Amino acid sequence: MKIAIYPGSFDPITNGHLDIIKRASKLFDKVIVLLAINPEKSYRFSKEDRLNMLCEVTKGMKNVEVDSYNGLTIEYARKHGASVLIRGLRVVSDFEYEWAYSAANEYIDKDIEMVFLMSHKELSFISSSAIDELYRSGVDISSLVPRVVLETYAKLQDNKLTK
């Protein structure tokens, strides 16, 4: 069985991420969407909210699972029998970061391959940080994210209003 892991912070998940998940699920027997937790980083959404959004958007995808991990992704891959890490590439500048990430992972474990999936051009400008900035500026992001993301933003807004 060919197992692939698609790691990310998914803060929030976008339609670009979802496209990569769907495409990866056609290429591999099992895809684990891994919410990577970095204690040094601050997030817009809680771990629980991000996991809930991931579970909601992958519901019904038979060979896709969601999990979280706060260590090295390559260690998680070893523990779960994965031989592939999936990474999405949107623009040329992504390549430099992903090249270094790939080299570091290869240093740790040469048997785990990196597979890069290019974003479709209509999704290439979408990033989690851009989504957040657009949302905070009042721009309609409904065509860029799954519905559950809009619902989670609304929940955050409601929580701020009640405090």
Q: What is the pLDDT of residues 130-141, one digit of tens each?
A: 898 999 899 999
The yes-or-no answer on residue 127 being catalytic is no
Q: Is the pTM of this model over 0.85?
A: yes
Q: Given 44, 50, 87, 90, which residue is catalytic?
A: 90
**Catalytic residue selected from 44, 87, 119, 128:** 128
Whether 41 is a known active-site residue: answer yes
Tokens of 144: 């860029």
**Mean pLDDT in runs of 10 for the chain (163 residues)?**
96 94 97 92 93 97 96 94 92 75 81 90 84 91 94 78 50
Tell the residue number behind the tokens 């989690």, with chain if given. Answer: 128
End-to-end CA, the chain: 49
Q: What's the pLDDT at 109?
A: 84
Per-residue model confidence (pLDDT) at position 160: 57
Closest CA to 35 of 90, 84, 88, 73: 73
Catalytic annotation present for 90: yes
Q: Confirm if 12 and 128 have CB atoms less than 8 A apart.
A: yes
Percent of the chain with pLDDT over 90: 65
Annotated catalytic residue: which of 26, 41, 121, 163? 41
CB atoms within 10 A of CB 152: 22
Amino acid making up residue 81:
G
Tell me what the pLDDT averaged over the chain comes to.
90
- The CATH code for residues 3-162 is 3.40.50.620
Catalytic, 128? Answer yes
Q: Which of 17, 44, 50, 87 is catalytic?
A: 17
